[in-house]
Structure 1
Amino acid sequence: MIYPHNFEQKIGFDQVRQLLKDKCLSSLGKERVENMNFLVQYDDIDERLNQIAEFVRVIQEEDNFPDQYFFDVRPSLKRIRVEGMYLDEQELFDLRRSLETIRNIVRFLQKTEEEDGDTPYPSLKKLAGEVEVFPQLIIQIDRILDKYGKIKDNASPELARIRKELMTTMSGISRSLHNILRHAQAEGIVDKDVTPTMRDGRLVIPVAPGLKRKIKGIVHDESASGKTVFIEPSEVVEANNRIRELEADERREIIRILTAFTDSVRPTTPEILQSYEFLAEIDFIRAKSRFAIQTTSIKPILENKQLVDWTMAVHPLLQMSLARHGKKVVPLDIELNTEQRILVISGPNAGGKSVCLKTVGLLQYMLQCGMLIPLHERSHAGIFQHIFMDIGDEQSIEDDLSTYSSHLTNMKMMMKNCNEQSLILIDEFGGGTEPQIGAAIAESVLKRYNTKGTYGVITTHYQNLKHYAEDHEGIINGAMLYDRHLMQPLFQLQIGNPGSSFAVEIARKIGLPEEVIADASEIVGSEYINADKYLQDIVRDKRYWENKRQNIRQREKQMEEAIAKYEAESKELKEAKKEIIRQAKEQAEQLLQESNAKIENTIRSIKEAQADKEKTRMARQELVDFRQAIEKLSADEKEEKISRKMEKLEEKQNRKKEKKQAPTQAKEQTVKIPPISVGTLVKLKGQSSTGEVLEVSGKNATVVFGNIKTNVKLDRLEHSAAVPKKMGTVKSTFVSSETHDQMYEKKLSFKQDIDVRGMRGDVALQAVTYFIDDAILVGMDRVRILHGTGTGILRVLIRQYLQTVPGIKHFADEHVQFGGAGITVVDLA
């Protein structure tokens, strides 16, 4: 039940209804908007809200929703129920296009599915589930009409014959007229630029009145000025008559075709009309969805009970009005529940009390009419069986009602019909009569509302109502805030304390004489003035501490974010340290393997040398030197090596900055370093093993490291500070042709991609380490590491390792078309 009869007008819903009509595509939707009414069943409201929420997503996310042709052909379909009536060409064309739209919408909603097989629009799909489409009817219409909505020549054999004869006859007339015209032009009867024209559906020749006797024929018309007459030559009169006959035959055949088609459609008219009800509903839902997008409306958490728990709710009409002037509406936070069912709002005039009241009324009414409403998504909303309102002046000369009488009439109506499922909205409760008796009656009525368990929002200036709300359960005070320093309303609702009317402050701001204000203060007494002042102080202090609490919350949030960031960085640093230690252990293991290989090579060399004592002695000396070099790696040096790697991780950014700031200096230092040539002792950048350059070719060099000969780019080498050893030709004896072949084979078989998806962090990192080493060894320019996206931990570990490898020039995500963040592309120096 909604009371009074002009409820929609008072809260502004009539304007909302008009805005919805403007967004409809046809009279189908407008009719639904006009018949939209207040719903009280939870399931009905929830279903309609779901439909709109889903259609909002369709508008925002889908590009191919079919909404081109929304034609209301229901009047035409109802007319052809009478035998002998038929659909004309335009009606048939509109029927065909709208039926196609219905079919396409149903297909769209039934075919759209997500990856898990569920439809993203279940409520809309349910709505389209029982709708009948008519594909055969569309095919039948396509046989009759062309793409422009005109009857095709081949709609029937008879029509094809008539139109063919019509074209032939018209061509003959045109040729005859042009021959007559050329002859007349040659004789000077008509001007050279004259062409045949049409009068009364017949082709004629324009001639000057004085020369009309020169051409035999029938005068059909003359121009408004009388300077031209239009003559149909006698040679084409018979042909023109034939054209008239053929046109009449054509029209009769078209009517016959349309009548025959209409006769075939007539039995299915009820089913077609039912499908148009679906099209009307879609147009209606679409209009509500467009309005929801315009007003940033959403579906709140709907509960099947009486509840108002709204956050950041706004009046949509006020929002649009202020937006046109570049202003924003102040959002409303309000809560009505079983503990605080009735909110008594007080505060200054023009402070927003009535707007607050109308916002509650309009949004609740919109919601129960199946519309989304503008508020925050964490808001909760309930359902009321009745909404009663008493707003504004209801004087009536006809009914002999004064303002106060109309208020009392409304109060009586509400008390009689309200219950625990009702929502009452009363503006200026108890106003319109002598204040003392008006306040007393208002308090008594409020008591009855509270006893019945009614929910409501009431605005007032009466102190006794504020005290009553303070002292009784189920009722709570609220205040519209006011800035005492700027002397202007803030339009913010604060629940918990009553508000001051600021009557004295406003009177002083307007400029009322101070002695008048003083006299008024004496009349009401100091106790009243002080009470009002204390009320203002309470509101002010509460607002101050509310701001303080908000600032503390923001600081706490910032602190929590900082702590979380610190913990994440600390964890990342610890993981990096563990990784470096693990790599050091792996290098030690690798060094041990190299030692075993060195011993085996030495033993093999001694066996091959047999009695050659000099070669045996040199092999033994190399083994001794190698052992001494290993022993020099003490525990302190290993720890220092780990620390250096940690410093590399932390100082990488600093090195980049230094390189940018001193390019000239670096250039000069580079120039001073002697070039690498044959015989130079070198090492790989970032490595400690020393080798000798055997050959330099362009930008590449052949270097022997121990018993391994390899081809390396010059820019990856640097001079070694190690003491030169006597490296005779014996070293080359350790690199056989078999080793060269193995290196060549390894380069040919090397794959530029490695896939570590699904591996544990340490296993994946070990695989990447060997992969990068091999890539550097065989001279690859670019490789790709497939680690996937997942949680991102594998990607972080791999990139932390890549930052520590000097042989890497750059690494980044793969292009989005080829894998994006799931693949790291590594450019080698």
Structure 2
Amino acid sequence: MLYPNTIEQKLGFDKLRELLKEACISPLGRSYVEKIRFSDNFGMVEKLVSQTAEMKKVMEIGEDFPSQNYLDATPFLKRAAIEGMLLTLEEFSDLKASLQTIRLCLRFFENQEPESFPLLSEFAKTVRIDRAITDAIDKIIDDRGQIRDTASPELARIRRKLISEQAGIRKKLDNMLRSAKNSGWISEDVSLTVRNGRMVIPLAAEHKRKLKGFIHDESSTGQTVFIEPTDVFESNNEIRELEYEERREINRILMHLTDQLRTFVPDLQKAYAFLGLMDFLRAKAKIAIQMNATNPTFVNKQFIDWKDARHPLLHLSFQKQGKKVVPLNIELQDKNRILIVSGPNAGGKSVSLKTVGLIQYMHQCGLLVPVADGSAIGFFQNIFIDIGDEQSLENDLSTYSSHLTNMRYFLTLANKRTLFLIDEFGTGTEPGLGGAIAEAILEDLTKSGAYGVINTHYTNLKVLADKTEGLVNGAMRFDGEHLEPIYQLEIGRPGSSFAFEIASKIGLPNTVINRAKDKLGKQQVSFEKLLKELDIERKVFAEKNIEVGIKERKLTQQLSEYTKLKSNLENNEKKLVNEAKQKAKNLLADANQLIENTIREIKENKAEKEKTKTVRTELEKFGKKNLALEEVEELPSEDNVFEPEDGAITVGSYVRIAGQTAIGEVLALKGKDAEIRIGDLKSNIKLNRLEKVSNKTYKAATGEKKLKTSSKGVDLNERMMNFSFNLDIRGKRGEEALGVLDSFMDNAIMLGYDELRVVHGKGDGILRTLVRNHLRGYSHVANMQDEHPDRGGAGVTIVKLK
């Protein structure tokens, strides 16, 4: 079900239909374009879209697929089906050319694997063109669309005689023409011509009495007459009679050929339906290629999951101008099925809305859609839209009344299979009342389970979307610094209308703008301000995420290299150990051999003192050479810095956790637990896990002196939760601003932040200068710079910490 009946005009599908007609070659294809309708049959939509996808593939890879002579011969077939009717030579010529195109289409699919183009190949198998009729037409009509001389023996005889007569009469006329030129009756550049189907001689009017014959015509100036000489009059009559005979014979041949064709008309009509479909699918595929359209995953349930969706008509228009459309990423699921889009005027809300409607409508009309690969598209039985002004003088409807009429229709018929689109929801009446009615309508639409996209400026609808399941906020992004739209849809947060900023840029007096803010109230102004600041922080965090991603990749690479190095070191260690063991074995074997030899020599020499002494000396040399130990420098152990101290652990004692190197101070004793401070962190540890250490050990480990007063410790988790890297000191006096800045810097340094953002505004630059001069006094500050122009420029200082 569609609503209203002008939905195609409102979405722009009527323009797309015209583009499809222009892309068709023949009336056959254009007749299919006229029949395009939105389908609520899932199987039908799937089939139509798949056919188009197959044809797009054919056009991308099928160089042999025909691209001409998609001629509509169906009117000829209707006449041929009537007994006694004959088709003209021109009609048979078109029939022959178009049948050849059909045969080429069929041959293309016959030569392909069936699984390559399953739907089109299957359809092609149902088309039958009997070779008997195509051979019969080829036998009669040549490739130039003329009757062959061999079409019949009688036609061949007539044409031979006709050629002979024409040659004879030309010979006579050439002689007469030459004689006339010699006599000066005509100029040298004149040649024979034909008038009323008869060969004649052009002759100057003043000499027309000098050549006997019949005057057929004269020139527009009257200075030349065209004379058929008396000597060739009979020959011309003979030629004329032969031409009549030729015409009668051709008609007889065409009548016979039409009779042959008549029995094949039913099959040929089906073949031309196939040809029309091919022309239509070629047009759809051609448009799809132009807009880089795809066939997304089609699922028989209600949802939208589109990546890089582009408005089809806008894409084609921008393509001609060499520009690119900003793509739309949108996802509507069961829990977030109604998107509330907000943002400034001229920010792209209406284009986004129509993009959603037109793409869904296109797909359920059987067309490919301009979304990126990886997208998925759902199925809706109803599409309702409320776009534009439906003011009606005939029905006495105002703009707001027409919107409410549409809403009544939506509320009555919307269900879980409905997609609705509403542009500028609730406008046309007093804002307070319009916003309240819009909120009530939205609550009922949410209960219906329908899916939809709504554009609005009403804050109450943004708040409702934030706290209601089924609704989700969306914002058209806007450059708050330059007050220019970015045309990107961001789902998950509401957008600001930037009304005050745009008014200021246009040049509205500041006094008027400030009074408007006062009249609006602090709550609304703060809400808009918060939206803008959130947008700035989102941009900053997006850049930080990119940096973190780069660092993570580097860390992963370094970890991989470390793991590889560790594995190599372990392998090398094993190799060294194995080599050492092998050397030890060899050394032991040599030593054993030497000892045995020594014992043997001592026995053989019967323990002679000199010989025994010499053998022992050699044995000692061997031992010193192979068994001496290398000197190893002893490295200081980390454990050496700990000097344990006797005595019980009390408040103020210095301790370390057993088995660890961290040194801390005891802040309090709680039964068997002790609260200790290690650096800036505090923690509760069991007493039996603590070892008391000396003051010297504490100083050596931390470089600190014992504090005279007890420290209360710092809860870093709490500070981390409450800390924001973005400090806004706009509107504060100098002394107050510097106090806030000092507290901000203390927390940032303690928490280890490396980059901070201080928003001080531009103005006359006084607060900026004060802030930067003060920050230069911090030894932790590495440098300062202006923020990117898109996020505040000179009104924001980026502080880099060491």
TM-score between both structures, scaled by the size of structure 1: 0.66
Cα 1:185–1:347 change in 2 (3 A) is closer
Once residues 458 and 65 of structure 1 are traced to their aligned partners in structure 2, the CA distance between those partners, rounded to angstroms, is 45
Q: Point out where structure 2 has 5 or more consecutive residues left out of the alignment.
A: 572-802
Q: 1:203 maps to what in 2?
A: 199
Q: Which amino acid aligns with 1:14?
A: D
Q: 2:174 maps to what in 1?
A: 178
Shift in Å, 1:308: 0.2
Look up the SS of the partner of 2:139 in the other structure: helix
Q: 1:780 maps to what in 2?
A: none
Q: 2:15 maps to what in 1?
A: 15
Shift in Å, 1:48: 2.2
Look up the SS of the partner of 1:482 in the other structure: strand
Q: Which amino acid aligns with 2:306?
A: W
Contact persistence 1:481–1:491 (CA under 8 A): yes
Q: How does 1:667-746 map to 2 (within 5 A)?
A: none
Q: Which amino acid aligns with 2:352?
A: C
Report whether the alignment pairs 1:36 with 2:36.
yes
Contact persistence 1:81–1:266 (CA under 8 A): yes
Contact persistence 1:99–1:134 (CA under 8 A): no
Cα 1:171–1:59 change in 2 (3 A) is same
Once residues 182 and 365 of structure 1 are traced to their aligned partners in structure 2, the CA distance between those partners, rounded to angstroms, is 76
Report whether the alignment pairs 1:504 with 2:500.
yes
Look up the SS of the partner of 1:105 in the other structure: helix
Report whether the alignment pairs 1:532 with 2:542.
no
Deviations 1:405-436 (A, max 9, x none): 11111111122221110000000001011111
Shift in Å, 1:549: 2.7
Cα 1:194–1:460 change in 2 (3 A) is closer
Q: 2:380 maps to what in 1?
A: 384
Deviations 1:303-355 (A, max 9, x none): 11011011111112212323333332211111111111111111111111111
Shift in Å, 1:572: 12
Shift in Å, 1:260: 1.1
Q: Which amino acid aligns with 2:331?
A: E
Q: 1:516 maps to what in 2?
A: 512
Cα 1:411–1:81 change in 2 (3 A) is same
Once residues 90 and 553 of structure 2 are traced to their aligned partners in structure 1, the CA distance between those partners, rounded to angstroms, is 66
Q: Which amino acid aligns with 2:42?
A: Y
Q: 1:445 maps to what in 2?
A: 441
Deviations 1:135-168 (A, max 9, x none): 3222111100111010111111111111111111
Report whether the alignment pairs 1:73 with 2:73.
yes
Once residues 58 and 212 of structure 2 are traced to their aligned partners in structure 1, the CA distance between those partners, rounded to angstroms, is 70
Q: How does 1:220-239 map to 2 (within 5 A)?
A: 220-239=216-235
Cα 1:392–1:250 change in 2 (3 A) is same
Deviations 1:152-208 (A, max 9, x none): 111111111111111111111111112233344444444444332211111111222
Q: 2:775 maps to what in 1?
A: none
Q: How does 1:741-760 map to 2 (within 5 A)?
A: none
Deviations 1:249-300 (A, max 9, x none): 1111111111111111122212211111111111111111111111111111
Once residues 558 and 376 of structure 1 are traced to their aligned partners in structure 2, the CA distance between those partners, rounded to angstroms, is 30
Q: 1:166 maps to what in 2?
A: 162
Instruction: Indicate the larger mover: 563-572 or 342-351.
Output: 563-572
Q: How does 1:239-638 map to 2 (within 5 A)?
A: 239-553=235-549, 555-557=551-553
Deviations 1:725-767 (A, max 9, x none): xxxxxxxxxxxxxxxxxxxxxxxxxxxxxxxxxxxxxxxxxxx
Q: Which amino acid aligns with 2:72?
A: D
Once residues 7 and 102 of structure 2 are traced to their aligned partners in structure 1, the CA distance between those partners, rounded to angstroms, is 36
Shift in Å, 1:527: 1.6
Shift in Å, 1:502: 1.2
Q: Which amino acid aligns with 1:507?
A: A
Q: 1:57 maps to what in 2?
A: 57
Once residues 505 and 300 of structure 2 are traced to their aligned partners in structure 1, the CA distance between those partners, rounded to angstroms, is 48
Once residues 52 and 259 of structure 1 are traced to their aligned partners in structure 2, the CA distance between those partners, rounded to angstroms, is 40
Once residues 105 and 562 of structure 1 are traced to their aligned partners in structure 2, the CA distance between those partners, rounded to angstroms, is 59
Instruction: Indicate the larger mover: 382-391 or 238-247.
Output: 238-247
Q: Point out where structure 1 has 5 or more consecutive residues left out of the alignment.
A: 576-829
Q: Which amino acid aligns with 1:316?
A: P
User: How many residues align structurally?
Assistant: 573
Cα 1:168–1:451 change in 2 (3 A) is same
Shift in Å, 1:438: 0.9
Look up the SS of the partner of 2:263 in the other structure: helix
Q: 2:96 maps to what in 1?
A: 96
Cα 1:330–1:210 change in 2 (3 A) is closer
Q: 2:680 maps to what in 1?
A: none
Q: Which amino acid aligns with 1:226?
A: G
Shift in Å, 1:540: 2.9
Shift in Å, 1:562: 7.6
Contact persistence 1:207–1:231 (CA under 8 A): yes
Q: Which amino acid aligns with 1:21?
A: K
Contact persistence 2:129–2:267 (CA under 8 A): no
Cα 1:429–1:255 change in 2 (3 A) is same
Shift in Å, 1:475: 1.0
Q: Which amino acid aligns with 1:12?
A: G
Q: Which amino acid aligns with 1:301?
A: T
Cα 1:101–1:558 change in 2 (3 A) is farther
Once residues 464 and 216 of structure 1 are traced to their aligned partners in structure 2, the CA distance between those partners, rounded to angstroms, is 104
Once residues 183 and 489 of structure 1 are traced to their aligned partners in structure 2, the CA distance between those partners, rounded to angstroms, is 87
Once residues 571 and 366 of structure 1 are traced to their aligned partners in structure 2, the CA distance between those partners, rounded to angstroms, is 59
Look up the SS of the partner of 2:69 in the other structure: coil
Shift in Å, 1:574: 13
Shift in Å, 1:545: 2.3
Contact persistence 2:133–2:260 (CA under 8 A): no
Contact persistence 2:150–2:156 (CA under 8 A): yes
Once residues 434 and 219 of structure 1 are traced to their aligned partners in structure 2, the CA distance between those partners, rounded to angstroms, is 90
Q: Which amino acid aligns with 2:484?
A: Q
Once residues 403 and 374 of structure 1 are traced to their aligned partners in structure 2, the CA distance between those partners, rounded to angstroms, is 33
Once residues 255 and 549 of structure 2 are traced to their aligned partners in structure 1, the CA distance between those partners, rounded to angstroms, is 76
Contact persistence 2:140–2:147 (CA under 8 A): yes
Shift in Å, 1:555: 4.8
Once residues 563 and 34 of structure 2 are traced to their aligned partners in structure 1, the CA distance between those partners, rounded to angstroms, is 60
Instruction: Indicate the larger mover: 544-553 or 367-376.
Output: 544-553
Once residues 559 and 235 of structure 2 are traced to their aligned partners in structure 1, the CA distance between those partners, rounded to angstroms, is 99
Q: 1:757 maps to what in 2?
A: none
TM-score between both structures, scaled by the size of structure 2: 0.68
Contact persistence 1:103–1:134 (CA under 8 A): no
Shift in Å, 1:209: 2.6
Look up the SS of the partner of 1:485 in the other structure: coil
Contact persistence 2:40–2:380 (CA under 8 A): yes
Cα 1:4–1:551 change in 2 (3 A) is farther
Once residues 47 and 554 of structure 2 are traced to their aligned partners in structure 1, the CA distance between those partners, rounded to angstroms, is 41
Q: Which amino acid aligns with 1:90?
A: E
Contact persistence 1:49–1:371 (CA under 8 A): yes
% identical equivalent positions: 48
Shift in Å, 1:546: 3.4
Look up the SS of the partner of 1:398 in the other structure: coil
Cα 1:367–1:560 change in 2 (3 A) is farther
Look up the SS of the partner of 1:528 in the other structure: helix
CA RMSD of aligned residues (A): 2.5
Q: Which amino acid aligns with 2:40?
A: V
Q: Which amino acid aligns with 1:50?
A: S
Cα 1:189–1:555 change in 2 (3 A) is same
Contact persistence 1:207–1:229 (CA under 8 A): yes
Shift in Å, 1:50: 2.2
Contact persistence 1:497–1:539 (CA under 8 A): no
Contact persistence 2:340–2:454 (CA under 8 A): yes
